[in-house]
Chain A
Amino acid sequence: AQKITQTQPGMFVQEKEAVTLDCTYDTSDQSYGLFWYKQPSSGEMIFLIYQGSYDEQNATEGRYSLNFQKARKSANLVISASQLGDSAMYFCAMREDTGRRALTFGSGTRLQVQP
């Protein structure tokens, strides 16, 4: 079963507007971590934000925030005030506290910011 699901292959947003990228996950672990990475065309995966399963507050990092809804098993990334440089692939990933403890990635969402 797929552990990370990103249902939006592509998204468009106007510059300066906010955008939400969806991510749902599946795990039986009580302790896990959720990550978002950005991958520009250069290929490097850039860490954006982290949310732990026991964190009570939604994570924020500058213009990035994570809308964590544990009961729904969703961890959506919100980018506020989009910039042209935000155009990239965005990947949601999870690490479980048991087993391999490796990052499991979703298939990604391509975001294009339009001027």
Chain B
Amino acid sequence: EAGVVQSPRYKIIEKKQPVAFWCNPISGHNTLYWYRQNLGQGPELLIRYENEEAVDDSQLPKDRFSAERLKGVDSTLKIQPAELGDSAVYLCASSLDLLRLSETQYFGPGTRLLVL
């Protein structure tokens, strides 16, 4: 079974430029998450999707960040314009059924973003 796929793995951009990250979750997983992991810290949730609906985006900086999951499968996270403080690893995760407390989230390898 294929895991969570993310691309690109690395991205270097100059500040004020736009950038987009792509995620394909594990087949059949209805719930998709985007996390941001700053250096030396644990991941923090940006947005959670149930199918194509964003059910938790309270931590997403909506002035510059946007996300979509149009067909309830793969998802794109965009930053426009990027700022120096956006340098981080962006992790995508998916899970089968959020209703179970024990439900495991499976993570992709992440996209490491460096904003210069």
**A residues touching B (Cβ–Cβ < 8 Å)?**
4, 31-33, 35, 37, 42-47, 50, 52, 91, 93, 95, 97, 100-103, 105-108
Contact = CB atoms under 8 A, between A and B. Distances in A.
A105 B109 contact: no
Given A91-B42, A107-B40, 13 more contacts: A37-B107, A44-B109, A45-B107, A46-B107, A50-B104, A91-B43, A97-B101, A103-B43, A103-B105, A105-B42, A105-B43, A107-B41, A107-B42
B14 interface: no
B107 A44 contact: yes
Given A4-B42, A95-B101, A45 B91 contact: yes
Nearest to A35: B104
A45 B93 contact: yes
Contacts of A93: 42
Interface of B: 3, 33, 40-45, 48, 56, 58, 89, 91, 93, 98, 101-102, 104-110, 112
Contacts of B45: 100, 102-103
A100 B56 contact: yes
A59 B67 CA distance: 36
Given A44-B108, A93-B42, A101 B102 contact: no
Contact of A106 (B42, B48, B105, B108): B42
B104 A43 contact: no
Contacts of A43: 89, 91, 109-110, 112
A102 B48 contact: yes
Given A42-B109, A43-B89, A47-B105, A101 B98 contact: yes
A108 B98 CA distance: 24
B42 A47 contact: no
Contacts of B44: 105
B111 to A, nearest CB: 9
11 contacts: A31-B101, A43-B89, A46-B107, A95-B101, A97-B101, A100-B45, A100-B56, A101-B98, A105-B42, A105-B44, A106-B42
